Structure 1
Amino acid sequence: MQERQRRFTEEYKRQAAELVVSSGRSITSVGKELGLRDSVLRRWVEKLRRTRLLRSPGCARRMSGCAWSGTF
């Protein structure tokens, strides 16, 4: 029997990732509570952290000396 792929809104993904980050709980713990695989929730948390890093003050200064800046 084939499992149906579930789809989640961006808002749900952000809230799930926020729960991990703000609570200090593990991805495994929150994933079990929400019925999500670790790998899925981990991607959402990493995306949230990248987004926060890019929006943080001083990001342009940090990235200016980076070999990767301007390539994306």
Structure 2
Amino acid sequence: MGSTRRRFTDEYKAEAVGFVIEGNRSIAEVARNIGVHEMTLGKWVKKERDARAAAVPADAPLIESERSELIRLRAELKDRDAENAELRMQVEFAKKVATWFAKEKQ
């Protein structure tokens, strides 16, 4: 006794995805409201977002929110790079101290 699989029209999927993307609502909330499993709706949303991303040319100008996110991410990367450099210096210092102590013990 197999279960029957529900089928959804492309229009239904597009409207459900629109609730998430254009409506700025969570996948879980929309899935609950329309009676679809979260994973199913999540796949529809991912497919649409991937299609939209592929439709935008790589050299297209950034919109303001993308530009601000890029600035934020670059600043975050700079901070992380500085933190990594500091940690590398600490590791090198610890190696030198360990070498010095090892020579002292001999």
User: TM-score, structure 1 length as denominator?
Assistant: 0.72
Q: What is the RMSD computed on CA atoms of the aligned residues?
A: 1.7
**Which 5+ residue runs of structure 1 have no aligned equivalent?**
60-72
How many residues of Structure 1 are paired with residues of Structure 2 in the alignment?
59
Deviation at 1:58, TM superposition (A): 2.4
Deviation above 6 Å: which 4+ runs of structure 1? none
Q: Percent identity?
A: 37
Structure 2: distance between partners of 1:47 and 1:35? 19
Match of 1:16 in 2: 16
Structure 1: distance between partners of 2:19 and 2:3? 26
Letter in 2 for 1:16: A
Query: Secondary structure of 1:46's match?
Result: helix
Structure 2: distance between partners of 1:14 and 1:48? 9
Structure 2: distance between partners of 1:53 and 1:11? 20
Query: Secondary structure of 1:23's match?
Result: coil
User: TM-score, structure 2 length as denominator?
Assistant: 0.50
Match of 1:45 in 2: 45
Q: Which has the higher contact order (CA 8 A, sep 6+)?
A: 1
Q: Which has the larger radius of gyration?
A: 2
Bigger proportion of residues as helix: 2
**Which 5+ residue runs of structure 2 have no aligned equivalent?**
60-106
